[in-house]
Amino acid sequence: MAPALLAACLFVLMLGVTPAHAYNEGGSVDPALTGCTSCHNGTANGFRQGPHADYSTTSNNCALCHAVHPKNYHIKSGEPTFTPGIMLLPKATVKASCEVCHDGTGGAGVYGSIAARGLGSPGAQHRIDVTNVVPGGDAATGGSAVATFGGVANNLSCDDCHNPHNGGTVNPFISGRVRNALLFAYRVASSSLLKRLPTSATTPSADYGSDWCGGCHKGRLSGGPAPNHPVDSKLVTITPFTYTRVAILATNGPTASTVTTFMGGEQMELGNSYPTNGGNRGFLMPFPRTAQQNGHNPICQQCHADSRSVGTLASDGSTARATTSVVSVVDGGAPTDNPRFQGFPHETQNVLMLVENDDDLCANCHPIAILP
Could you tell me which of 187, 182, 27, 35 has the C-alpha nearest to residue 107? 27
pLDDT in tens, 128-149: 999 999 999 999 999 999 999 9
Query: Is the residue at 367 inside a domain?
Result: no
Inter-residue contact 143 to 136 (CB < 8 Å): yes
Question: Which residue range forms the structural domain that includes residue 9?
Answer: 1-120
* Partners of 248 in beta bridges: 259
Query: Is the residue at 95 inside a domain?
Result: yes
Query: Is the residue at 296 inside a domain?
Result: no
Query: Is the residue at 86 inside a domain?
Result: yes
When divided into structural domains, the chain yields a total of: 1
Query: Is the residue at 297 inside a domain?
Result: no
pLDDT for 27 equals: 37
pLDDT for 12 equals: 34
pLDDT for 55 equals: 83
CA-to-CA distance for 30 and 21, rounded, in angstroms? 7
Enter the pTM of the model.
Answer: 0.84
- The helix/strand/coil state of 105 is helix
Query: Is the residue at 99 inside a domain?
Result: yes
Give mean pLDDT in consecutive 10-residue pieces for the chain, a chain of 372 residues.
39 34 36 40 51 82 79 51 69 87 72 84 92 96 96 95 94 78 56 95 96 96 90 94 95 93 67 58 95 95 95 96 84 85 90 95 94 85
Query: Is the residue at 62 inside a domain?
Result: yes
DSSP state, 13? Answer: I
